[in-house]
Amino acid sequence: MNVTIDILNDSDSRWLPNPDDCQTWITSALAAASYNEDCGISLKYVSEAESGELNESYRSKASATNVLSFPADIPEEITSQLGYRPLGDIVICPDVLEAEAMAQGKTLIAHWTHLLTHGVLHLLGYEHEEEEEAEQMEALEILILKNNGFENPYTTKQS
- For domain 3-147, give the fold: Collagenase (Catalytic Domain) (3.40.390)
Instruction: Answer whether residue 158 shows pLDDT above 60.
Output: no
pLDDT tens-digit readout, 15-29: 999 999 999 999 999
- Every domain of the chain and the residues it spans: 3-147
pLDDT score, position 43: 98
Per-residue model confidence as pLDDT tens digits over 27-84: 999 999 999 999 999 999 999 999 999 999 999 999 999 999 999 999 988 888 988 9
The answer to whether residue 159 scores a pLDDT higher than 90 is no
* Closest of 115, 151, 147 to residue 24, by C-alpha: 147
Q: Which residue type occupies 135?
A: E
pLDDT score of 157: 56
What is the rounded distance in angstroms from the CA atom of residue 123 to the CA atom of residue 126?
Answer: 7
> Do 117 and 145 touch, CB atoms closer than 8 A?
yes
- Per DSSP, the residues of 106-150 read --HHHHHHHHHHHHHHHHTT---SSHHHHHHHHHHHHHHHHHTT-
Calpha distance 100→110 (Å, rounded): 11
DSSP, collapsed to helix, strand or coil, labels residue 154 as coil
